[in-house]
Structure 1
Amino acid sequence: MKTVYQRADIVPLLAEIFRELGYEGATLSRITERTGIGKGSLYHFFPGGKEEMAGAVLADIDAWFDAAVYRPLRNDDARQAIAAMWANVNDYFRSGRRICLVGAFALDDTRERFSRAIGDYFIRWIDALRSALMRAGCVEEEAQTLAEECVCGIQGALVLSRALADETVFIRSVETLAKRLGAATR
């Protein structure tokens, strides 16, 4: 029996391949090998090739973060949205076992190809968190600094957890950041 795929079924598979191999390492041959989907089918869904595949993955990540992190931080009760952000980030990054693909793309030559999507990801996260922090009582300058520190801390914790093969680094870092924001919003 042949499996019939939809484009939406393929995007998460591509995301994990890009996370594991990077943009340059994810050749079309390796993508077909790891997904089991033929080149013709991949080009049917992604006529623009690997660049379109990576763009679809970044759009999918953006949609998830918009729904689970940015919108709640901008619109919901500030303290509840911040608490939900920590839980969602922990789940999304699998307690530090899953790299941030957007962050990884920002660090190599791929950045130029997807600079707008990469920059928007970080800008929107910082802005949304700053907004929640201000609604929770922080002055704008402090809220901006804390938001930047938190996003930096999450990204750094992901790198360090991966480098040390120790997810507890990520867990401890996120807990420390959450306590810092909690103390700032009392």
Structure 2
Amino acid sequence: MAPGLDEQKQRRRTEKRDEILAAAAEIFLSEGYGRASMDQVHAKIGGSKRTLYNYFRNKEALFEAIINEVSDRALAALKPPLQEDDLSSALLKMGTGYLTVLLSPEGLALYRAMISEAPHFPDLARAFFDNGPGRGSRHLANFIREQKARGVVDVNDPQIAAEQFLGAVRGDIHLAAALGIRQPSKQLVTATVTQAVETFVRGTELKCDNR
């Protein structure tokens, strides 16, 4: 059965929104939030300005959507893997996926843009933190909380544990990549995450044999 008119309309809206976000991300992440403009985005995608503003009411809303898109990919990497995985394997998959997103061209460009613009746009910086790193640590904290309830780990504060684990995963390699000093190899990413997992597992005093 052919899709109905409502489905076709929704698909076209989704495709148009994705087109706008892709064009905007290229501009915002290369020019920086302060120098980028809605006019630049409009010039890149063409069509009427009304269409652009129908999707995003202003520059800030558009940039927040870009933040959310990159953050959603990072969160997807932190979703608990298959139940049959033990804790170490689960954390290794989560950490590797998370760090891979951070080290992606979009992830690095977004981080650089926010570091540059944060002093001038504190509300935008707060939105970036809440929707990005903050969401990531809260998401992982829920997973650790579930593991604690099952008697797998013993931690006083799952939120702090999540923040510490993600901090160990990022290590220095994320900052080095953001500064353009070096782009880490897959082997270094794996080694960094593996070490972070081993440290976390030892520190949480497992109550069952998951090692």
TM-score (normalizing by structure 1): 0.69
Identical pairs, percent: 18
Structure 1 residue 13 corresponds to structure 2 residue 8: no
- Structure 2 unaligned residues grouped into runs of 5+: 1-11, 202-210
Deviation (angstroms), 1:118: 2.2
User: Normalising by structure 2, what TM-score?
Assistant: 0.63
Alignment match of 1:99 (pick from 77, 98, 108): 108
- Aligned equivalents of 1:160, 1:177: Cα separation in 2: 16
How do 1:72-91 and structure 2 match up within 5 A? 72=80, 77=85, 78-91=87-100
Which residue of structure 1 lines up, in the alignment, with residue 154 of structure 2? Answer: 139
Partner of 2:40: 30
How far is 1:98 from its partner?
4.2
- Of residues 54-63 and 127-136 in structure 1, the stretch that sits farther from structure 2 once superposed is 127-136
Q: How many residues align?
A: 179
Shift of the alpha carbon at 1:140? 1.7
* Equivalent in the alignment of 2:175: 159
Structure with higher helix content? 1
Please list every run of 5 or more consecutive structure 1 residues that lacks an aligned counterpart in the other structure. none
- Give 2:167's aligned amino acid: C
For 2:141 and 2:60, the matched residues in 1 are separated by: 32
What is the root-mean-square deviation of aligned Cα atoms in Å?
3.7
The correspondence for 1:57, drawn from 60, 66, 70, is 66
What residue number does 2:204 align with?
Answer: none
Larger radius of gyration: 2
Cα distance between partner residues in 1 of 2:175 and 2:17: 30
